[in-house]
Structure 1
Amino acid sequence: MTEQEVRRYLRQMKEEDSERAFHGFYDLCYDRLFRIACYYVKHEEWAQEIVLDVFMRLWEQRTRLPEVNNIEDYCFILTKNAALNYLEKENRRTTRSAGPLPETNDETESPEEILISEELFARYVKALDRLPERCREVFIRVREEKQSYLQVAEAMGISMNTVDAQLQKAVSRLKEALLDK
């Protein structure tokens, strides 16, 4: 996601009330926001619902979006908060129907650990978005979707050596981006 593209879409959404610009913005940002939602809720169906809700809010706020300084962080926070709210509602719903509360785990993470892991995840998502398209696709298929090199090679129409090279490139760039800050 490039800043110039996003800014252009946001301006068109505000000035022209352009649904086409909104669709372009959606296409540019959906995968990233979906990964963020999935990270928090761990269910693809829930994540899809959350991201659609986030985009509805973004459309409703389209006149104010161009003034947002860092739209990437703004979208990340919107998605994170929507995911956490969704989890809270789901927990309330299951608590009411499940009866007694589950026992708490003494080994829960401290607020500081949670904040650090969230910041690290946000940096990971940004670094992943900055990878070249094929490199990113190979990485996601192999590391996140747990596909084999052969499956990825066949699905993308590339050799297994290319899959390996692209994966190594992705890992190297991600490591560099995460250790850089």
Structure 2
Amino acid sequence: MKAYSQLYELLFEKLFCFSLSFVKSNEVAEEIVSDVFIKLWTIRGRLHDIENLTDYLFKITKNFSLNYITHHHKYPKVSLDDISFDLTSAVSPEDIYISSEIVARINEIINRLPSKCKMIFQLVRGDGLRYKEVASILNISELTVRNQLAIAAKKISEAVPPSLVGSLQARRTEM
């Protein structure tokens, strides 16, 4: 136990700085180094198999730091209000049949939607994700996804006059 304490005092600061260079957070780096020493304590019976204990501890620290980054930054927390989308560049085969006036009006309405509503609309309608997938990605309920899509659909339908929709349907039947 005394040797473990001395090793902790000897290497904690170095391992902390090393981990900090990866994770950029004092609290997280401190937690990682504590986890490294916990790991060391749990494998204390196999320490005689390790040739260079310092190198081994640095490798564990690196791995724990990279694991932290992978798990906690895979889906970084970003405010939905700070994200902007340009939906005008997405062209689907259906857009070919819609007049440029309708497309312009729909895109204008979509771009005026609140950020979260616009993002949900893009993920479901543009990227083809299911409600459950979008809910998981954005950490919201499926009901919220459904409600936001209903809001988007309502705003779009209110913006496109029935006369334009009627002329579009007439053109499709002529083709």
TM-score by length of 1: 0.41
Give 1 or 2 for the bigger CA radius of gyration: 2
TM-score by length of 2: 0.43
